Amino acid sequence: MRLRVDVASDAPSLAWDNLHGPARGVVYGLLREHDPQLARSLHDDGWKGQPMKPVGVACPRFRGVRRQKGVYAASSQGSVWFASPVPEIASALVSALARRTEIDWGTAKLRVRGFTVDIDNAAVADGFVEVATATPVVVRHDRWDLLPGDEHYVERVTHNLVHKADVLGLPAPQGVRVLEAGPRRRFSVRGAPRIGARVRLGMEADARFVDALRSWGVGLDTIQGFGWVE
């Protein structure tokens, strides 16, 4: 399930460090409001005995803005997406957000103007599918951030997708390959770098897995807004 929250920023811009950095704290804050035990369990133990957090976030995106040097421009016409392929987590996010009038996103306050639950995703059949991300995908090998074209990149992306399928009890995708890649992007999250690039992947996959992937994301650190699927 994917949830789009329409927001208006009280500030004309966000510092780049405040784009992805607050996402994780916002998610856990929402979960704690609805179910403190669920929030604590997910934070400490992950899901179903795995450290993975089945949550996807698309950090604030704003319309009607002009690019500004050194900052991320904001406006009164923005949106933030939250999602999870796990009904229990998704329902907790919906319940908490339904009571919110604003979201503290780092130093900015985002006034909630409304939200829409997106359940009816575009129909996808089993077989070959293309998946494109709106935010950079983070994958690592031996503690190094990898970019499309690097040795081990496809291997590590595939490992991530197969692991997610296993956690959700769904058939794993096969034949994963990079069809297109965006430029290298670097962000700072709590003082640590996150390096990645947007990608368009091709794979043979079960339709249920593709639907779940749209609510989780590709790669690591999806709870911090990386690897969000368009």
CA dist 111 and 188 (Å) reads 25
CA dist 136 and 34 (Å) reads 30
Per-10-residue mean pLDDT of the chain, 230 residues long, equals 96 92 96 96 93 96 88 95 97 95 95 87 76 97 95 98 97 97 93 94 96 97 97
Instruction: Give the model's pLDDT for residue 120.
Output: 54
Instruction: Give the model's pLDDT for residue 126.
Output: 81
Count of all residues that appear for the chain in the document = 230
Which tokens is 50 given?
């795995």
**Predicted TM-score (pTM) of this structure:** 0.93
Contact 163, 51 (CB under 8 A): no
Instruction: Give the model's pLDDT for residue 124.
Output: 67
Instruction: Give the model's pLDDT for residue 74.
Output: 95
CA dist 15 and 131 (Å) reads 29
Instruction: Give the model's pLDDT for residue 178.
Output: 98
Contact 130, 122 (CB under 8 A): no
Instruction: Give the model's pLDDT for residue 123.
Output: 53
Nearest to 93 by CA among 166, 170, 23, 163: 23
Contact 179, 144 (CB under 8 A): no
For 168, the enclosing helix (H) or strand (E) is: helix 153-168
> Which residue ranges form the domains of the chain, and what is each CATH number?
2-118 (3.30.70.1890), 127-224 (3.30.70.1900)
